[in-house]
Structure 1
Amino acid sequence: MAGEESAFTVLLGALEGLTLEGFQEFKTKLSHVHNEGSWNIPKDALVKATCPSTLVSCMGKNYGEDAAVDVAIRLFEEMNQRDLAEKILDEKVKEYKRKYREHVAREFLRYKEVDSCLGENLSVSSRYTDLTIAKKSWSQHGGEPEGADVSWGCADTTATITVQTLFKPDEGGQATQVMVLVGAPGMGKTMTIRKMMVEWVEGTLCTQFDYVFCIDCKELSFSKEVSVLDLVSKCCPHQQMPAGNILDNQEKILFIFDGFEALGFPLAQPKDELSSDPREAKLLETTLMSLFKRTVLPESSLLITTRPTALQNLGRCLEGECYMEILGFSAAAREEYFHRYFENANKAEMAFRFTRGNKILYSLCIIPAMSWTICTILEQELYKKNNLLECSKATTYMGVFYLSWLMKCRGSNAQQDLQQFLHKLCSLAADGIWKHKVLFEEKEIKDLGLDRPDLLSLFLCEKILKKGIDHGNIYSFTHLHLQEFFAAMFYVLDDDEATDSNPEALAKDVNMLLESYSKSRKDLNLTVQFLFGLVNPKSIEYAGERIGCRISPRAREDLLRWLQMRHRGLSHTGEAMMVKELDTFHFLFEMNEKSFVQSVLGCFTGIDLHDVRLTPYDQMALCFCIKQWDGLDSVTLRSCSFHQQHRREEPATGLPRQHPRWDELRSPLHRLCQALGHVGSSLQSLRLQWCGLTEGSCEALGTLLATHPSLACLELGDGALGDGGVRLLCSGLQQPGCHLRILR
């Protein structure tokens, strides 16, 4: 860096400060040096080096600058010139610190996301969004004093800690030396570590440490015997590392072990004695245990990230540790993440509004990896279109995409093992949904054969009960909606094995699920919704190619028959068959297959919905189905409201028609009228009674009247249309394409 001396420059100054006798003594000792791995200086070259600058140049040419500095330090110590040796060493250490920070910057400032374009590197600082991190107080044996807790979607409800305050001293001036950062897969542990490393390089975080060594436990797991010095060397890019200076100032070292669960071995009982010498090579588990138990470098600090399933194993070998749990994105952080991902404000706003309009997706966005999944898919949609009003990717597709991301986090397991494991996992999820159960005992996990740490930790969080409870640990899915997703997968996942002989095992009876939902179990709604999405041909193909699991399409006929028959009981004999439940449209939207939608809706002639608050996602599902429904002749919406987000914003009339948000900001009725007026529509009757219509709704209705000659009856109830609205309706009525006979 400009204005900073190098150790090589300091060496030149030290030689220039020697007397003539001292300079000759240095040259004499240098003539006897035999440095391994580099050329020794020829005697005739030493004879010609009659001044310090020539000698330094000669040393650099033959040894290399770093090795030349080490040789000089050793020779000055032999000459009893310890002040000069320490001065050069101090500068070498400073120089190495700069080089190490530059190395860390190269390694951590930018990163490549899963599925990113070839060569596309992203900036950590521009993408990272603050997470909600809560302080926990597990005992040293892993016991949680207050018992297990499930707090899905509650990242806003806890007093939180930020990355910036992790290692700050408390009110008494005491700083925690051992920190454990706990989080389920996809919660952002590794990204948080990257952000910490970047801020340490920038001098805004962990400034009390001269060195922060980040060790990837996946890579470390391949090692057999290592010393602590080896761990340090793996992080350092240069051979001439001042190991003695680094290790002697242990209070200035922070070790970060990222992904402890990847080590895959218990640390409680090392096979040999713990070490106190950082240079002593021992079995990997013994060296780690020595660090964790503070028998080696006890003044250094540790930060360990882990999934909850490895927490008990880790807790047995730590002392004086403090636990932090990543709870995910708060509501504000979710919106911030979308803006950071898209960078373009208009696209970010469209994507976030779309997501917030779907309460399932919005709830799942508490998981950072799910936010990334949704943004990635919506980015592809926005690349194809200018808006998301007709997004073809439903909730299930995003769940399948997220599952494929999880599979990238696993080891190299055989596909057959994965298929069998998923079947057992889905059985657990479905059994829990049927029994209103979200917590599972350790015995249940073992009885099902799910005690596979390499796979289990991808899907379940381990919750450790307080002392005195003898049921072992308990487990939960990382989010209730993910449990519902896997419960749906239970019914369609292909199973090559013989049927479970256990009489208590849950049967794969799709019809029983659908019948229970129809009669009383409305809590099964999302499971049924996911079921439709999973048997979509594209989902089946994607799951097979990208995840390696086989989904059977056999349930399609059961789903088709159920939808065709479910509304018959709601219609009187001789009455036209009407769709009277909004969920039907969501089920068909999840299926997202034109022929299936037409097969279902071909049995009906109308829509009759009462007392429904139509969210943007509801409107999208409804309009998708209407566009495939040529036989629709009547629509009745009674006491229904059309929810529109960001009503405080300027109306569409303030924007040019080519603006990407033109359609989005128009009256929410505009989207429905567009769908009702699709080519091939035979709509005859439209009733919008007590739906809170306003003047802004009348433009869309006027256009529908003018362009849809089959429409014969329009009933608008008590909407506050205003004079302007009436004029817009009259304009439509006067058009030659309008054949309306009844207007109420």
Structure 2
Amino acid sequence: METQGHREMEGGPSKSHSHAGLLKVSRELLVTHIHNIQCLVDNLLKNDYFSTEDAEIVCACPTQPDKVRKILDLVQSKGEEVSEFFLYVLQQLADAYVDLRPWLLEIGFSPSQLIQSKTIVNTDPVSRYTQKLRHQLGCDSKFMLCYAQREELLLEETYTDTIMELVSFSNEILGSLSSLASLLDPSSDVLNEHGETVFVFGDAGVGKSMLLQRLRSLWASGRLGAEIKFFFHFRCRIFSCFKESDTLSLQDLLFKHFCYPEQDPDEVFAFLLRFPQAALFTFDGLDELHSDFDLSRVPDTCCPWEPAHPLVLLANLLSGRLLPGARKLLTARTGVEVPRQLLCKKVLLRGFSPSHLRAYARRMFPERAAQVHVLQQLEANPNLCSLCAVPLFCWIIFRCFQHFHSAFEGSPQRPACTVTLTDVFLLVTEVHLNRTQPCSLVQRNTRSTAETFLAGLHTLCSLGRVARSGMEQSLFVFCPDDLEASGLREADLALGFLRTLPVLGPCEGQQSYEFFHITLQAFFTAFFLVVDDKVGTQELLRFFREWTPPGEAAAASCLPALFPFGGRRGGRPAGSDPFKNKDHFQFTNLFLCGLLSKARQELLWHLVPAAALRRKRRALWAHLCASMRGYLKSLPRLRSGGFNQVQAMPTFLWMLRCIYETQSQKVARLAARGVCADYLKLTFCNACSADCSALSFVLHHLHKRLALDLDNNNLNDYGVRELQPCLSRLVVLRLSVNQITDSGVQVLCEELTKYKILTYLGLYSNQITDVGARYVAQILEECKGLAHLKLGKNKITSEGGKCLALAVKNSTWISDIGMWGNQIGDEGAKAFAEALRNHPSLTWLSLAFNGISTEGGKSLAQALRHNTSLVTVWLTQNELNDEVAESFAEMLRVNQALKHLWLIQNQITAKGAAQLAEALQENTGITEICLHGNLIKPEEAKAFEEEKRLICF
């Protein structure tokens, strides 16, 4: 009878069969493929379709097929509804009855509303195990232990994606991966169709472990894809904990060393073996596998029940010999190589892009104001911003900012202490040292900073020797012999300060190493110079001579007492410069100043004898102050506009940065005494807005007024705010070409109108709009000594032009206005015309390239008939025509004070030029009318050759 039913099913189900009839005709199929009896009994009991006696009858049957037959008999005998519910259970618990999926699809089973309202309980061992895995991984991945191992953070509130790039076997970039789903997708971006492992690599701190934790969190919450039913996560370091004689079966490795099934482990393992594609394995940190184990030489094993060493199981899982088809993801640091035949994808993790950094800032600083402030500070300091590409460093820097923000929240005054680069690197060092600390479930790391540094002093000194030796010999790549000579131990490499190069270096086939970041080498060099007792004051200061840039060597040569190191080791002659970029020397000096600052005194007392510390600090302070004084005295002077002007070089900025890093007001006061000039020109010095902090730190101690030229740098609004402490000293302030917006101009307005001593304000080529123009107008009206105002090439329209024109009209002291390259148009030009009429002091005006046409041009010409102060007017690159030229000709018959009229690149023809030439016959005061680039042909210009003041070509 069962055979007959099975044959009927092979031809497809009969449409006339009821649900009970389907069970009858498919009886043999169901008996063969139903293995989970308990799940059916539990659901029939739960919904009162079975009594306790029915369940006992089923359980009393001797074999599993007999139990299935008895269930079918009982279900069919209870009628159509129970039979339909029986089919519904088979459909809903797909994992428990996986072999019946094709049959259920074939019969097109669709339950009624009544049956769909019934409760289904899943007691299937596989499903229960999946639920247990989700719960365990969900708990494990909910919180992330911060890098300092002192607190836990919610992953969902902290995690931010990083840059993932697919690379070839030779590490050539093939493209970006946009999501974690594409990382695991076996159908795309595959390098080797026979490999089964996705290899994710990157430098220490770029987020490899966090990526795996994010994967676990997504899977635990059901957001990674329903096709993955098992997720097994291992840290590679645990495989080093097994003895050489230890052996395990794959089932024991998964169940006894990861998560044990609550029921029927053999059934769960059988399901896993049957459907390995439903499993995802992640192995974190292959570089942490402390073993001579060679993945390419392990014995092959494909039997999941045969015991083997856990490392053998790891290798065969990665190769696909065990559980072929299972997805595997392996991480390691840059420099670790995995055999190509094991890999299906190779992915480079690069850390944060600018957009990722902004997203991370939003997570770390939910308050908009704090978020904007932090991003502005990062933009202000390229050195910090470049470090933030590494999530580890970014977290550390943001924690510094969080401390800074909370410590001074609500304070109306600017804090006396700020976060310096040395603060950040000290925290970086502390975090890395704490990585060696065991992580307890009941107690977090409670070591103080001093205890951490004291415990790691041997490691830090060894790293310092490597760094200093490299700095002295111009080396940035090190061989194993270099590390061994410094006393560096193998365990010290695991801290992450040094990384292996992805390719062999210049060490005759040996593995080579470099510091994780060039600034780290500089930091450890400075640290060694401070903490080593054998380093004297001359050695302490030697890198101040090394970093003097080319072009400034002549100035430095005048200061033998200040820069006493005339040559370098190895016989290299003084003044030779093998580096195009000397930032490594500059940063060494910067960190030296930070480490010897008063704020670091308490920490260093635990590491360095107090007498040695005081001796080094005094030597450094004296050197900085003498260097500042001697450097500025050595620069050539230029008497200009009543000022004693010097063109300072980038060296001056680095001196200021070093002084700022000390955070010592005493040092800043002494350095300020060395500023002997009253006009500091710092144009084209590549100054960033963080340099304004250093500049103000020193200049606000001056007792004299000063002119400061910072044109053509990268200051932005944050830099303007950092200049506030010294704005009370400035009579000249030039900030052209510096990405300043209305926000920065508002700060200038608030500060400059307090002191009212400004005579020159240069804001050419920034990003100032009409809003900022109103602030500038207020400065002009209130600062009664402001004679020169440069606002060209901004984003000022007619509205801003009207405000500025009104301020000019009310100002009887302004003499020079530059508005080239805005868009004030005819309306703005009319407003300026009204301001020019009878103005007593304005001598120079540029409204070039402002979209001024006929009406605006005529208004200006008419106003000039009543002006006797203007000497020069530029109206280049507008839309002035012959009608305007005629108005200017009429003006010239009246105005004898104007000397220079530039009408270059307009729309004036020979007719307009003729009218201007005719007017010149009655004007003896004007020197030139420039008409280059107008609509005048060369042959037409010949008619005006006699009038030398009319320049057509």
Give TM-score scaled by structure 2 length. Answer: 0.56
Offset, 1:376: 0.8
2:289 to 253, 259, 263: 263
1:163 to 180, 202, 206: 180
* CA separation of 1:13 and 1:168: change in aligned 2, threshold 3 A: closer
Offset, 1:221: 4.0
1:563 to 607, 624, 627: 624
Check if 1:536 corresponds to 2:597: yes
In structure 2, distance between residues paired with 1:467 and 1:455: 17
Check if 1:640 corresponds to 2:673: no
Gaps of 5+ in 1: 1-5, 31-72, 74-86, 139-143, 147-154, 500-505, 648-663, 678-682, 706-712, 734-742
Q: Does the 8 Å CA contact 1:415/1:549 hold for their aligned counterparts?
A: no
1:166-205 map, 5 Å = 166-171=183-188, 177-205=196-224
In structure 1, distance between residues paired with 2:587 and 2:434: 26
1:163-312 map, 5 Å = 163-171=180-188, 177-205=196-224, 207-219=226-238, 221-224=240-243, 225=246, 226-233=248-255, 234-236=257-259, 238-240=261-263, 241=265, 242-268=268-294, 275-308=301-334, 311-312=336-337
Q: Which residue of 1 aligns with 2:158?
A: 127
Q: Does the 8 Å CA contact 1:111/1:121 hold for their aligned counterparts?
A: yes
In structure 1, distance between residues paired with 2:38 and 2:694: 71
Offset, 1:206: 5.4
Letter in 2 for 1:624: F
Offset, 1:186: 1.3
1:88-99 map, 5 Å = 91-99=124-132
In structure 1, distance between residues paired with 2:229 and 2:609: 51
* CA separation of 1:221 and 1:345: change in aligned 2, threshold 3 A: farther
In structure 2, distance between residues paired with 1:688 and 1:433: 39
1:369-408 map, 5 Å = 369-386=392-409, 390=415, 392-408=418-434
Q: Does the 8 Å CA contact 1:615/1:644 hold for their aligned counterparts?
A: yes
Check if 1:113 corresponds to 2:146: yes
Q: Deviations over 1:379-404 (max 9, x none)?
A: 11111234896561111111111111
Q: Does the 8 Å CA contact 1:357/1:616 hold for their aligned counterparts?
A: yes
Q: Which residue of 2 aligns with 1:26?
A: 59
Q: Deviations over 1:354-412 (max 9, x none)?
A: 11110100011010011111111111111123489656111111111111111122367
Q: Does the 8 Å CA contact 2:632/2:674 hold for their aligned counterparts?
A: no
In structure 1, distance between residues paired with 2:199 and 2:137: 22
Higher mean C-alpha displacement, 126-135 vs 196-205 = 196-205
Offset, 1:599: 4.5
Offset, 1:246: 2.6
Letter in 2 for 1:703: K
In structure 2, distance between residues paired with 1:92 and 1:641: 71
Q: Which residue of 2 aligns with 1:672?
A: 723
In structure 2, distance between residues paired with 1:305 and 1:373: 23
Q: Which residue of 1 aligns with 2:384?
A: 361
* CA separation of 1:446 and 1:228: change in aligned 2, threshold 3 A: farther
Number of equivalences: 616
Q: Does the 8 Å CA contact 1:355/1:361 hold for their aligned counterparts?
A: yes
1:11 to 14, 30, 41: 41
Instruction: Determine helix, strand or coil for the equivalent of 1:215.
Output: strand
Q: Which residue of 1 aligns with 2:137?
A: 104
Structure with higher Rg: it is 2
1:619 to 682, 686, 692: 692
Higher mean C-alpha displacement, 367-376 vs 404-413 = 404-413
Offset, 1:699: 4.4
Offset, 1:688: 3.1
Check if 1:479 corresponds to 2:479: no
Higher mean C-alpha displacement, 335-344 vs 578-587 = 578-587
Q: Which residue of 2 aligns with 1:419?
A: 457
In structure 2, distance between residues paired with 1:281 and 1:507: 64
* CA separation of 1:13 and 1:179: change in aligned 2, threshold 3 A: closer
2:497 to 459, 469, 475: 459
1:703 to 751, 754, 763: 754
Q: Deviations over 1:75-100 (max 9, x none)?
A: xxxxxxxxxxxx99983322332332
Q: Does the 8 Å CA contact 2:303/2:322 hold for their aligned counterparts?
A: yes
Q: Does the 8 Å CA contact 1:137/1:145 hold for their aligned counterparts?
A: yes
Offset, 1:532: 1.0
Check if 1:429 corresponds to 2:491: no
Offset, 1:442: 4.4
Instruction: Determine helix, strand or coil for the equivalent of 1:267.
Output: coil
* CA separation of 1:252 and 1:389: change in aligned 2, threshold 3 A: farther
Q: Deviations over 1:108-165 (max 9, x none)?
A: 13334245876x541x233221111223344xxxxx577xxxxxxxx9x964554221
Instruction: Determine helix, strand or coil for the equivalent of 1:636.
Output: strand
Q: Which residue of 1 aligns with 2:356?
A: 333
1:544-693 map, 5 Å = 553=613, 554-566=615-627, 567-571=629-633, 580=648, 581-602=652-673, 604=675, 608-611=680-683, 612=685, 614-627=687-700, 629=701, 632-638=703-709, 640=711, 645=716, 672-675=723-726, 677=728, 686-688=731-733
Q: Does the 8 Å CA contact 2:727/2:752 hold for their aligned counterparts?
A: no
Offset, 1:559: 1.8
In structure 1, distance between residues paired with 2:632 and 2:688: 24
* CA separation of 1:447 and 1:294: change in aligned 2, threshold 3 A: farther
Q: Does the 8 Å CA contact 2:463/2:488 hold for their aligned counterparts?
A: yes
Instruction: Determine helix, strand or coil for the equivalent of 2:753.
Output: helix
In structure 2, distance between residues paired with 1:638 and 1:577: 10
Structure with higher RCO (Cα < 8 A, 6+ apart):
1
Q: Which residue of 1 aligns with 2:842?
A: none
Q: Deviations over 1:690-717 (max 9, x none)?
A: 8689985454223024xxxxxxx75427
1:141-160 map, 5 Å = 144=170, 159-160=176-177
Q: Which residue of 1 aligns with 2:850?
A: none
Q: Deviations over 1:638-680 (max 9, x none)?
A: 35368554x7xxxxxxxxxxxxxxxx7xxx6565344455xxx
In structure 1, distance between residues paired with 2:453 and 2:277: 47
* CA separation of 1:206 and 1:216: change in aligned 2, threshold 3 A: farther
Give the aligned CA root-mean-square deviation in angstroms.
4.7
* CA separation of 1:610 and 1:317: change in aligned 2, threshold 3 A: closer
* CA separation of 1:335 and 1:600: change in aligned 2, threshold 3 A: same
Q: Does the 8 Å CA contact 1:429/1:486 hold for their aligned counterparts?
A: yes
Gaps of 5+ in 2: 1-35, 64-96, 98-119, 439-450, 554-574, 638-643, 765-772, 788-814, 817-953
Q: Does the 8 Å CA contact 2:38/2:123 hold for their aligned counterparts?
A: no
* CA separation of 1:14 and 1:417: change in aligned 2, threshold 3 A: same
In structure 1, distance between residues paired with 2:158 and 2:397: 15
Q: Which residue of 2 aligns with 1:37?
A: none
Letter in 2 for 1:635: L
Offset, 1:197: 1.3
Instruction: Determine helix, strand or coil for the equivalent of 1:254.
Output: strand
In structure 2, distance between residues paired with 1:577 and 1:559: 28
Instruction: Determine helix, strand or coil for the equivalent of 2:510.
Output: coil
1:513 to 528, 537, 543: 543
In structure 1, distance between residues paired with 2:171 and 2:143: 40
In structure 1, distance between residues paired with 2:398 and 2:288: 28
Offset, 1:22: 9.1
